[in-house]
Amino acid sequence: MKLKKSSGGPAKIPIDMTPMIDCVFQLIIFFMLTLKIRANEGDFNINMPLGQGVGQSSELPPIKVRLEARPDGSLRNIAIGQRSLGDGPRAYALLNQEVLNLVGRPGAAFSKEIEVELDADYELHYQDVVSAMSACTGKVDEKTGNPVRFIEKIKFAPPRPKKGG
């Protein structure tokens, strides 16, 4: 059987774009509604140790904070200078108060020049280091809920070798 060829070639089938556009808009709306905006973490002005022979970056001596760890990595003691503050949430509150006493008052003119040097054991949990950094930099005003800065600069002492290693 012989088939007849049409003179115009194969017939074009029109493609309806409306369903595709509807799908695209539904996907956009879905992603917009499921987007979770995260608040930025605290902005700490941190100076990491560069190596041996690096001089002090400010004229004032840094406030030295020592963070000691237990063998399991939990906080054993916080010391500021030669004074031991203990461990736990009360130690962070005492550290916060000691830094405020050394600075004098929040927002003092020289508070931007004072540095805190954190000297943490290698095994210490990250959460304890961040809590100590937060206690040194300032606090939240209870009346207004706004942060009050004590210290602008935090640096880390060169890492200590692992205990027993």
CA distance 20 to 142: 53
Are 83 and 101 a contacting pair, CB within 8 Å? no
The conformational region for residue 138 under phi > 0 = left, psi -120 to 50 = alpha, else beta, is left
Q: What is the per-residue pLDDT across 2-25, written as a single tens digit (0 to 9) for each?
A: 666 666 667 788 889 999 999 999
pLDDT of res. 83: 86
Q: Please determine, for residue 105, whether its predicted confidence score (pLDDT) is greater than 90.
A: no
Average pLDDT over residues 93-116: 76
Q: Where are the domains of the chain?
A: 60-156
CA-angle at 159, arms to 129 and 122, nearest 5°: 55
Predicted pLDDT at 20: 94
pLDDT of residue 21: 95
pLDDT at 110: 62
Distance CA 55, CA 137 (A): 23
- Give the CA count within 13 Å in the CB-facing half-sphere of 156: 16
Give the pLDDT band of residue 46 (cuts 50, 70, 90). Answer: low
Check pLDDT > 90 for residue 26: yes
Angle between helices 126-137 and 89-103 (to 10 degrees): 30
